[in-house]
Structure 1
């Protein structure tokens, strides 16, 4: 089947207006053939149109790029995924002695290391990753090493990138340029903000209300500490060049072998379960999320900065990849609608809906009640009238900017004994999913949502 690009372009344009997203670039790779289009504007103030050459911030999709570079080191026999990090960074240490001596690159790739992101302010210099690793000598464990999955926004992949730096004798940005971007023939992908062509760059936007519409983000870029985990900018076309590497077991569109077929198989087949399987997928592989779409295995890599978003889905069974970059959101319902329009046109599997709540479940509510928190995030779960509620405590400054109260209450609708839907009355918020689990010692020990894990503290 072929895509009806004019129809899709019109449909996505309508959805942009509905969701308050200024612009988007969309690309589809099918059997090696690329289709792409752009809609909307790069900036709501200048009204300059988005084009296929507009570059967007990819956020945590960067982690997949960093994982590919790390697998090149595995291919060369220079590192082993299951050797301790200390084998490559001899001075590596954290507060927990077991984690300090036993954490491996595989733990970091999986997000099962459990080390708190307590790296302080490592600055914006080329030594940022070295400083991050030095600064975590006293970092505590959020959970015991390997005990569960808990997304590491910056630290885990910064440690992997520091191993790359020590091996290559250059900073991570230069490793990415020399080992991935240039060999793949990419001219619009970069990790240094000063190398971004500002005349082509999308501006990020936030939406506080549908009446106000999208406004320019107050934060242009993430701090450099997020580099290996979130610092790459690219186009939809060049994101699909990475997808090509993953779909063809290691070769770029220009024919260059980037990693071995064995490494691609390891990246996709080595997995751990995710406590909340519904928002992203039931398993996490090495730099990729594993999804189950009506029995078909699909791989995902997503990213968000403050006002920009990137989504990539890989469907190996139909040799297909779909990428979407936006300068507003994120709105998962928007992504689901756009992707399902494209996937339906292609005759492939589509994204499944969230599960329905099970009204017949009889839960022991006191086991779930309590406070679950990490620095910057606090969730209070309480029971009332036979129902469970979650109160999200927002940072006061963030709440003030977003024009929200600093305490937002949601009802938790059970799907199973450990999984819940968290619908919102706010039209700007999608239904979220939550896992509350690990009853080993009686009450639940962890709350997992949006990939992040929060331990019980009260």
Structure 2
């Protein structure tokens, strides 16, 4: 059941991205001359989108061929009100994965890694809960997300990243696989964390140092970092999250072990350089980070996600469109390539209720000559008014129920019908319902409660706290009901004896 929910939710999210991203260029591809950069239209759309979605800051980069054709920052980078610029570093999220894949492919071309070799050749200590199955997982399985690790385990690792990569990988010894290696696709951050460990072991450098020396520097990515300490000195954007509709700055956890899967840091200017290299066979200006054949291999379909949608090596692939999004607890990124055109969007916020993917769709349409409106995006205010009203009603009902406990002794009359009705009410409202929420809500889009509360602060905490309160109140009601029932029986027994 957990795998069904994981696959359904992940595919559904990817299909939304594909519909948003692909419809516009497909409709425009018949007439390439429609590609145009209209700064006024682009700026008006981004600013309207930010206003509608309450986004503090964002930055956009657009490339065509071997040139960056548009770079612009919008809004603020943090509470200090510093403006976002094309050089402002943002935490990337899962768009980091293509960098890790690129590092692996560099080492493969250097003859230091064989893609079809087992992981244990490079990390002899690597084990999962199934030791026999562990030996069958290859580097290619990790790259294509076909190792058998689950999306749930990958998300769980996001709150367990405050340790070195090697220790994080060693701790997988009790993690079960969801399916046999190579049998099918399932997105899991664990795959790319392990690849980070392989890069580190094979190169003899820390993963962070390797990426800096072999990717960032050759591509002149001067505002890109693999550690937040360095990025803060360069004006790292502060992430924001909505708490019951109020967008507030929040701190990220320590993600030392999970940098390779989701916590590299870069700017729109630097990401534009990166996209140029990806679009031009690994070349940026006079420098090359990978062979043309190697880049092509990264962009080829490797594992089927759904009809027409595949996962390559750190990239999702749908026909000619190659893309990936990235989400952390408080930042968002999206990059995509189609033909000789590429786009990157970085945002210093994440909203569990309002997807930002539609912004890229709108921008994509504008540069292909379409009229797009921010009114097509989710309505942030409406979403949180509804959420806050629901939470207010639930809180009022809980307070009413608490008040009834204080007045129980004087107001409750223990008749057989009332005792039965209250017993049924306790069973459903104070036992079955809260238990169902605690057990099954995290399985709807598989993640442990620690991740739910990290990515959905306020409401996520309420979703966890309310069932616990209901269970506690159910225990108190049960005691009161038993006392009332027993108290009713004692006088009756004395009258019979008399």
Q: Is the 8 A contact 1:119 1:135 kept in 2?
A: no
**Separation in 2, partners of 1:306, 1:400:** 8
1:403 corresponds to: 459
Deviation at 1:397, TM superposition (A): 5.1
**Separation in 2, partners of 1:256, 1:184:** 7
Q: Is the alpha carbon distance of 1:146 and 1:174 closer, same or farther for their aligned partners in structure 2, counting shifts above 3 Å?
A: same
2:270 corresponds to: 238
1:303 counterpart SS class: strand
1:336 counterpart SS class: helix
**Separation in 1, partners of 2:204, 2:132:** 29
Deviation at 1:333, TM superposition (A): 5.0
Query: Is 1:140 the counterpart of 2:151 in the alignment?
Result: no
Deviation at 1:119, TM superposition (A): 6.8
1:368 corresponds to: none
* Residues 180-234 of structure 1: CA deviation (Å, up to 9, x unaligned): 1112222101101111144522111112344x3x1112x3355211111112111
Q: Is the alpha carbon distance of 1:139 and 1:379 closer, same or farther for their aligned partners in structure 2, counting shifts above 3 Å?
A: closer
* Residues 250-294 of structure 1: CA deviation (Å, up to 9, x unaligned): 112x3211111111111111421115x6xxx82111110113xxx
* Residues 278-322 of structure 1: CA deviation (Å, up to 9, x unaligned): xxx82111110113xxxx520112111111111001112xx0000
For normalisation by structure 1, the TM-score amounts to: 0.71
Match among 90, 98, 101 for residue 67 of structure 1: 101
**Separation in 2, partners of 1:399, 1:61:** 18
Give structure 1 stretches of 5+ with no counterpart.
Answer: 354-370, 381-389, 408-458
Q: Is the alpha carbon distance of 1:311 and 1:373 closer, same or farther for their aligned partners in structure 2, counting shifts above 3 Å?
A: farther
**Separation in 1, partners of 2:111, 2:146:** 24
* Residues 29-81 of structure 1: CA deviation (Å, up to 9, x unaligned): 012221111111112x3332212221111011111101001100111122111
Q: Is the alpha carbon distance of 1:391 and 1:93 closer, same or farther for their aligned partners in structure 2, counting shifts above 3 Å?
A: closer
1:322 counterpart SS class: strand
Match among 24, 34, 38 for residue 4 of structure 1: 38
Deviation at 1:89, TM superposition (A): 2.0
Match among 180, 186, 192 for residue 150 of structure 1: 186
- Which runs of structure 2 are paired with 1:177-256 in the superposition (5 Å)? 177-198=212-233, 200-210=235-245, 212=246, 214-217=247-250, 219-252=251-284, 254-256=285-287
**Separation in 1, partners of 2:123, 2:108:** 16
159-168 or 22-31, which moves further after superposition?
159-168
Q: Is the alpha carbon distance of 1:141 and 1:298 closer, same or farther for their aligned partners in structure 2, counting shifts above 3 Å?
A: same
* Structure ranking higher on relative contact order (CA contacts 8 Å, 6+ apart): 2
2:24 corresponds to: none
Q: Is the 8 A contact 1:94 1:138 kept in 2?
A: yes
Q: Is the alpha carbon distance of 1:147 and 1:223 closer, same or farther for their aligned partners in structure 2, counting shifts above 3 Å?
A: same
Match among 9, 21, 25 for residue 59 of structure 2: 25
**Separation in 1, partners of 2:302, 2:116:** 14
Q: Is the 8 A contact 1:122 1:131 kept in 2?
A: no
2:357 counterpart SS class: helix
1:406 counterpart SS class: helix
- Which runs of structure 2 are paired with 1:258-273 in the superposition (5 Å)? 258-273=289-304
Q: Is the alpha carbon distance of 1:314 and 1:373 closer, same or farther for their aligned partners in structure 2, counting shifts above 3 Å?
A: farther
**Separation in 1, partners of 2:317, 2:132:** 29
1:150 counterpart SS class: coil
1:378 counterpart SS class: helix
Query: Normalized per residue, which structure has more helix?
Result: 2
2:19 corresponds to: none
Deviation at 1:237, TM superposition (A): 1.4
Give structure 2 stretches of 5+ with no counterpart.
Answer: 1-34, 377-434, 465-498
**Separation in 1, partners of 2:333, 2:138:** 28
Match among 163, 171, 176 for residue 206 of structure 2: 171
**Separation in 2, partners of 1:284, 1:400:** 27
Q: Is the alpha carbon distance of 1:377 and 1:157 closer, same or farther for their aligned partners in structure 2, counting shifts above 3 Å?
A: farther
Q: Is the alpha carbon distance of 1:320 and 1:129 closer, same or farther for their aligned partners in structure 2, counting shifts above 3 Å?
A: same
Deviation at 1:337, TM superposition (A): 3.5
For normalisation by structure 2, the TM-score amounts to: 0.66
Q: Looking at CA atoms only, which structure, 1 or 2, has the larger radius of gyration?
A: 2
Q: Is the 8 A contact 2:158 2:255 kept in 1?
A: no
- Which runs of structure 2 are paired with 1:44-193 in the superposition (5 Å)? 45-115=79-149, 116-117=153-154, 124=162, 128-153=164-189, 155-193=190-228
Give the total of aligned pairs: 361
1:358 corresponds to: none
Query: Is 1:324 the counterpart of 2:345 in the alignment?
Result: yes
1:81 counterpart SS class: coil
Q: Is the 8 A contact 1:205 1:215 kept in 2?
A: yes
